[in-house]
Amino acid sequence: MVTSTDVRDDGGRSATSLLYNPVLRQIIYQVLTCAFIAWLIWYAASNVAENLARANMTAGFGFLTGRAGFDIAQSAIPYSSDSPFTRALLVGFINTIIIAVCGIITATIIGLLVGIGRLSSNWLIAKLCTVYVEVFRNIPPLLVIFFWYKGVLSLLPDVRQSLSLPLSVYVSNRGIFMPAPVFGERFWLIPAALVVGIIISLIYRAMARKKQMATGKASPILLVSLALIIGLPVLTFIALGTPITFDPPVLGKFNMRGGTVVGPEFLSLYMALSFYTAAFIAEIVRAGIKGVSKGQSEAAAALGIRPGLTTRLIILPQALRIIIPPLTSQYLNLTKNSSLAVAIGFADLVAVGGTILNQSGHSIEIIAIWMGVYVTISLATSLFMNWFNTKMALVER
């Protein structure tokens, strides 16, 4: 376009003005964009400054080191009202991670079962799984949470009439009360034994692979590994003379005393997120399995590979390539949806942040922390996914 010449005679000068130069136009557009963004930031920042000045407040994260002053019911790390705000935020963050990890594991299991079930040759199972998916995909997650919290768990009996299950487990509308393990002195040896078991079984696996490559003989990897991973800790446990005792919950004047408790807030959030996300995972699994060409399983059958091995060695690795990218985005969605905890008072990052926002009035800082944490989680996952995709991509010869 720069070279285009116009034949119109208007004094010998080309009619194509500088304005139509695409390079120049791009620069102008970008300068305008920059100017606009700069203006937007300046506008917002100056208004924030003025609003804060009017309110006699200062911006900054300095307040975070102050004493929190409030208690948090569900905390995985030691926390009291004397701890600083940063500690409270950490408690919330850990709770977010806990709920996300628990939810992801359960949702994956349910989703896998339902997804495979939808492809089942058994008509009843296939239809049941379809109904499950269509019900949960089409109602808001918040409603599912309330359904568990207000519709199911609050119908459980009062704490004084708890349902008593074996092993001193009590179920009431205050949650599930279980005996708390009290670890003995040398208890650390047991996880150590577990780690040793895993390492040995990994070494064994590598050796067995080598042997199979060399001689063609398969070794019972699964059995040996299981024996090592489960057997070693159990043996250590017995050898140490069972260094663990249990502190069962007993009904006090108001509540269960002792033991550990899984609160109804955690339970309902966990169940809702698992069941809701599982519906989406099921669809992804189904699409993944259907995405593997039928010729693959037929070729495997022609080679005389057993059906179990066909699934494990041929279908699954190929299906996973299709499944994993959308699966990760569902995991991210679950993590983001865990912020709905605020609606039922489970102390996740958003709920704790909301309390701090109220107590301190520092709204900008708290919202910045929220967004920063979630964006970091998302970006980290995306980076991992990119790496994974390159690693998993079909190597075409």
Residues 152-191 that bind other proteins (CB under 8 A): 152, 154-155, 158-159, 173-174
* DSSP H or E segment with residue 102: helix 85-118
Q: Where does this chain touch other proteins (CB under 8 A) — which range of 86-94, 142-150, 194-202, 291-299? A: 142-150
User: CB of 226: closest distance to other proteins in angstroms?
Assistant: 24
Closest approach, Cβ 337 to other proteins, in A, equals 7
Residues 166/194, Cβ–Cβ less than 8 Å: no
Q: Taking the complex as a whole, how short is the minimal distance between the CB of residue 129 and other proteins, in angstroms? A: 10
Q: C-alpha angle 321/105/152, rounded to 5°?
A: 135
Evaluate whether 208 touches 201 at the Cβ level (below 8 Å).
no
Percent of residues in the chain assigned helix, strand, coil, to nearest 5: 70, 5, 25
- Structural tokens at position 310: 């066909």
Member of 76, 234, 239, 371 binding other proteins (CB under 8 A): 371
Give the contacts of 110 (CB within 8 A, at least 6 positions apart).
274, 275, 278, 281, 282
Per CB under 8 A, the list member of 135, 203, 226, 234 interacting with other proteins is: 135
Answer for which of 116, 367, 385, 388 binds other proteins (CB under 8 A) is 367
**Shortest distance, CB of residue 13 to other proteins, whole angstroms?**
21
Shortest distance in whole angstroms from residue 257 CB to other proteins: 6
Candidates 135-143, 195-203, 267-275, 282-290: pick the segment binding other proteins (CB under 8 A): 135-143
Positions in 256-275 near other proteins (CB under 8 A): 257, 264
DSSP letters spanning 367-379: HHHHHHHHHHHHH
Which residues, numbered 12-71, are part of the site for other proteins (CB under 8 A)?
Answer: 26, 29-30, 32-34, 36-37, 40, 43-44, 47-48, 50-52, 54-57, 69-71
Q: Which is nearer to other proteins, 193 or 350 (CB)?
A: 350
Nearer to other proteins, 14 or 80 (CB): 80
Q: Which is nearer to other proteins, 64 or 190 (CB)?
A: 64
Give 20 or 387: the residue with its C-beta nearer to other proteins. Answer: 20
Among 60, 231, 252, 291, which residue sits at the site for other proteins (rule: CB under 8 A)? 252
How many whole angstroms separate alpha carbon 158 and alpha carbon 151?
A: 15
**CB neighbour class for 100 (10 Å; exposed up to 12, middle 13-18, buried from 19):** buried
Nearest CB to other proteins, comparing residues 5 and 138 = 138
Among 280, 282, 294, 289, smallest CA distance to 318 is for 289
β-pair partners for 181: 246
User: Least distance in Å: CB of 235 to other proteins?
Assistant: 36
Nearer to other proteins, 154 or 245 (CB): 154
Per the listing, tokens 């067995």 go with 208
Nearest to 364 by CA among 35, 63, 37, 43: 63
Nearer to other proteins, 90 or 351 (CB): 351
DSSP 74: S
Nearer to other proteins, 32 or 202 (CB): 32
Name which of residues 193 to 232 contact other proteins (CB under 8 A). Answer: none
Smaller CB separation from other proteins, 219 or 363: 363
Residues 6+ apart with CB under 8 A from 361: 57
Site size with other proteins, rule: CB under 8 A: 86
**Helix or strand (DSSP H, E) at 45:** helix 22-54
184 versus 354: smaller Cβ distance to other proteins: 354
Q: Which two tokens stand for residue 56?
A: 């006699």
Residues 298-357 that bind other proteins (CB under 8 A): 336-337, 339-340, 342-345, 347, 350-351, 354-355, 357
DSSP 125-165: HHHHHHHHHHHHHTS-HHHHHHIIIIIIGGGSPPGGGPEEE
Q: 266, 79, 93, 276: which is closest to 178 by C-alpha?
A: 266
Q: Which of residues 114-133 bind other proteins (CB under 8 A)?
A: 121-125, 128
Residues 78-97 within binding reach of other proteins (CB under 8 A) = 80-81
